[in-house]
Amino acid sequence: MSRKFSFPSDDDPDMTVIRYEQFISGSSNSGYFDVEEFETIIEYYLRKGNTAESSTALEMGLKQHPNSNTLCIKRAKIYLMTGDALKAYRILETIPERNEPEIFLLKLDALLKLERDNEANETCAMIFEQLDSSEMDFIHLDVAHVFMNHRKYNAAIKVLKEGKKHNPRNIDLLFELAYCYEQSDNLNEAIAAQQSIVAIDPFVSEAWFNLGQIHLGMQNYTQALEAYDYVLAIDPNDSFACYQKAHILTQLERYQEAIDCYFDYELMVSDNKLVNNYIAECYEKMEQYDKAIVHYKETLQSEPNNYEALTGVSVCLLEQEMYLDSIDYIKEAIKIHPELPDAWVYLGEAYIGLDESGNALRAYLNALERDPAQPETLMAVGNLYLESSDYQSALYYYMQAYQQDENLEHIYLFFAICYYKTGNIELSLKYLQEAVDADENAVALFLELCPDAEQLTNPDFDENI
């Protein structure tokens, strides 16, 4: 999820840092810096995550300014970043009372790291009591960031809602409020917060994008599509929004529009290896198998071992009853990922098409060995055993399939056939009645496989049960 941050991201060194680095390297003799300059140098290295270099600069600063409370605060900040919250808190406690936001925020961070939550809440209250500022909304935002860094999103929400009272049009605050709601799985409130942003400024594309992401996660595809359309209206070259829009159009079964959108995405980005698979899948759903194969093969030109493309081609060939050609691609897919069940299922289907029941059965059993939770494959195995007159084995696999999915087509009919063939007439008639209740043609289908049971299926059929 993209987020709008309320602090600068420019980490390029300014002249103060350049002078400092020149002195450290020995290329300059100018080694004196005032407190504010040392503060700038230390903060630069902290932003880069270089606590060792920031510590070096701090020690140099304290030698030049041994009584500086500002540099003591930076020492506490370094301790916090290196994981020594207790040392940091002790330093902050020794600094004479100064109503500076940074001290309060560092204390709050230290207490949360020390899991002293009650004291942290007291410090939080103290911040708002003692600080008097025309920018209280931003102070609330800074406090909320501390809670957010500790993943205490409910506490952050409480702070942000108070901050919103000071300035309900603070977009940075609203972004973070939306983010916290989302992290707390309060998605309707997250949507409301993002909508507040676009109500203030309808050209904030990040808010529209975030709305699209939230609606997509909730499977509200129509609302998500509308949000991404707004993003693309603001910035037609937003490749990620275009990519997400194409996915949604696929979910909505608007395949031709999705294809057009994927083609637009291809023009926006240089690394678009996977997009051909998505285009191919859309053509496959539209039963335009030749076009689908073209795009799957485009993927295979750059990635010969792409499992999805190999299985995609094989499925398209199966649909066109080109079973031998399909098997070549399926076997390549199996070489790449023999642990995945779907290629084994496709191999079984190809052998069924070639009337090679033994090979089909072995392929299906391989698929089930990798994933037993496949009711359709269990049914296919049952059918193969039924065709070979192994009714007990067929019944076993039908039962396994039924336990996973009670709504399988003709399942009661297959039970009836297997029980009849194994001599259990009572159960056969029971399941035949179930089959008739689901499909009035069930008796005719039953008699095709059990012609000698005609006397059981006379007009008084119900009386036989």
Q: What pLDDT is attached to residue 440?
A: 87
Q: What pLDDT is attached to residue 1?
A: 44
Average pLDDT of the residues in 128-156 = 88
Residue 11 predicted with pLDDT over 90: no
DSSP 428: H
Question: Does residue 38 lie within any of the structural domains?
Answer: no
Residue 146's CB is within 10 A of a number of other CB atoms, namely 25
Question: Does residue 350 lie within any of the structural domains?
Answer: no
Q: What pLDDT is attached to residue 3?
A: 40
- The residue with greater pLDDT, 391 or 39, is 391
> Which residue's structure tokens are 């750059």?
302
Question: Does residue 463 lie within any of the structural domains?
Answer: yes
Per-residue pLDDT of 392-451, as tens digits, reads 999 999 999 999 999 999 999 999 999 999 999 999 999 999 999 988 889 999 999 999
Residue 269 predicted with pLDDT over 70: yes
DSSP string, 383-419: HHHHHTT-HHHHHHHHHHHHHH-TT-TTHHHHHHHHH
Q: Is the dihedral of CA 53, 57, 60, 65 positive or negative?
A: negative
When pLDDT is cut at 50, 70 and 90, the band that residue 200 belongs to is: very high
pTM recorded for the entire structure: 0.76
Question: Does residue 2 lie within any of the structural domains?
Answer: no
Centroid of chain to Cα 323? 36
Which residue range is the domain that position 447 belongs to?
Answer: 400-465
- Which contacts (CB < 8 Å, 24+ apart) does range 19-22 have? 20/57
Q: What pLDDT is attached to residue 386?
A: 96
HSE of 124 in the Cβ direction (CA atoms, 13 Å)? Answer: 24
Residue 406's CB is within 10 A of a number of other CB atoms, namely 10
Q: What pLDDT is attached to residue 14?
A: 83
Average pLDDT of the residues in 2-31 = 69
Per-residue pLDDT of 41-69, as tens digits, reads 988 988 888 889 899 988 898 888 988 88
Question: Does residue 332 lie within any of the structural domains?
Answer: no
* Tokens coding 68: 């500086």
Q: What pLDDT is attached to residue 9?
A: 45
Question: Does residue 3 lie within any of the structural domains?
Answer: no
| 391 phi, psi to nearest 5 deg | -70, -30
CA neighbor of 203 nearest in space, from 168, 176, 234, 174: 234
Whole-number percent of the chain with pLDDT over 90: 67
- Count up the domains in the chain and report the number: 1
Question: Does residue 428 lie within any of the structural domains?
Answer: yes
Distance CA 403, CA 384 (A): 19
Average pLDDT of the residues in 164-190 = 95
Q: What pLDDT is attached to residue 96?
A: 77
Question: Does residue 91 lie within any of the structural domains?
Answer: no
When pLDDT is cut at 50, 70 and 90, the band that residue 273 belongs to is: confident
